Copies of this chain bind each other. A is one copy, B any other.
């Protein structure tokens, strides 16, 4: 069974492509939030349950337990054998999976619309009735350790991201890897998983998103029947994490590994996240990332690749949807025979020039036009929309925030973007990483 570790994925593309009337939301009496996205073109639904908990909510020393629990949720309940959940989905012609990030853990199935009740019955069942055999918990831990071997230990770029991320956050648990530090994963067990489950899995900590060929009335009736029967957990802990202290010193992380094929440098500035009701700065940063590194006409591409021939690839990325402070990332892959040090100097020069020169109004219009175009493409993808709403709601945003985002993006001015750039491009809050192929000497 494949499980994806969710990356903090792109959020530039605006949401709200489906008209507001097609998105309905209501709470159940037990506090579970319900979002319905209607799309009657094909008789299929995507059924997702998102928990407002993830790797950043793990107890100290138990990194990886949110993801471990996600795996174990496919083991049995009082009425389902281990593996029976996914087998049942498949028997009904559906697909299912789950993913874990720092801020959320989500489970979903895509099935024929008339199977929605069955999906809810099974998902509600494992929300409270999980039963874990000791043997299964040991086996699954080994599965994850092997997953870690393949995805992290055998990939210097992944190891580098882990080490760099740990240096990015001085205090916040975003510095720990979602899959967990190996030694801590090795010590995870049934009790650790069940502790996390009992603490965080409850209807009042969950969001149901149903997208597809259903009406809000149908979803409400089924949701009240299956999820509404589960009592709220009155002891749900407040969702507060250790916050970052002021970051006052530039950090650099240099990793050399003989397995590295393509040396590169990455710069990550600590950056504000998208917050409910005040998304303007995040919108400016999202456009800034596109202006700087979003394709062949972007500033860094032009300066470093075409003018100076110093780089073969440049990218900028802002992952703004986040419960706590996130990062603005820049990657440069130098051309052959260009050192990482020289590439970094060129990057710093290019950023300084950008801050001095300001924004080409044509480029900004082009970026905004692309954003509008993506709106139209997105209307076709209710699955993507379901994902967008689920993620936003687990990361501190509201449905209104998601729907306001496209207009906020369009209203961003060049001055807004420059102000955001000047605020965020402060090396005291940045980590610059070199991943190089040379072996370390001394």
Contact = CB atoms under 8 A, between A and B. Distances in A.
A52 interface: no
Contacts of A246: 182
A171 B63 CA distance: 10
Contact of A250 (B61, B171, B255, B355): B255
28 contacts: A59-B60, A60-B241, A61-B240, A160-B248, A162-B245, A163-B249, A164-B249, A166-B171, A166-B245, A181-B245, A182-B245, A183-B245, A184-B242, A184-B243, A248-B255, A249-B433, A250-B253, A250-B255, A250-B440, A252-B252, A252-B254, A255-B428, A348-B442, A355-B442, A425-B442, A426-B440, A427-B440, A427-B442
A176 interface: yes
A117 interface: no
Interface string A353-371: 0010000000000000000
A152 to B, nearest CB: 10
Nearest to A166: B170
A248 B161 CA distance: 11
Contacts of A240: 61
A159 interface: yes
A41 to B, nearest CB: 47
Interface residues of A, number: 47
B254 A250 contact: yes
A312 interface: no
B442 A428 contact: no
A352 interface: yes
Contacts of A241: 60-61
A164 B167 CA distance: 10
Contacts of A414: none
A294 to B, nearest CB: 22
User: Quick one: which of A60, A246, A352, A433 has the most chain B CB within 10 A?
Assistant: A60
Contacts of A253: 249-252
A59 B61 CA distance: 11
Contact of A428 (B176, B351, B426, B440): B440
A247 interface: yes
Contacts of A247: 163
A173 B251 contact: no
Interface in A272-294: none
Task: Specify how many copies of this chain sit in the oligomer.
Answer: 2
Interface in A410-442: 425-428, 433, 440, 442
Interface in A315-355: 348, 351-352, 355
**Lowest 8 CB-CB distances: which A-B pairs, in order?**
A249-B255, A252-B252, A166-B170, A163-B249, A61-B242, A181-B245, A250-B254, A249-B253
A295 interface: no
Contacts of A425: 442
Q: In this complex, which of A241, A249, A426 has the most chain B Cβ atoms within 10 angstroms of its Cβ?
A: A249
Nearest to A182: B245
A160 B442 contact: no
Contacts of A254: 249-252, 427
Nearest to A426: B440
A216 interface: no
A253 B253 CA distance: 9
A175 interface: yes
Contacts of A426: 440
A351 B245 contact: no
Contacts of A60: 59-60, 173, 241-242
Contacts of A163: 170, 247-249
A176 B183 contact: no
Contact of A181 (B171, B427, B442): B171
A155 to B, nearest CB: 12
A247 B63 CA distance: 16
A352 B442 contact: yes
A159 to B, nearest CB: 6
Nearest to A428: B440
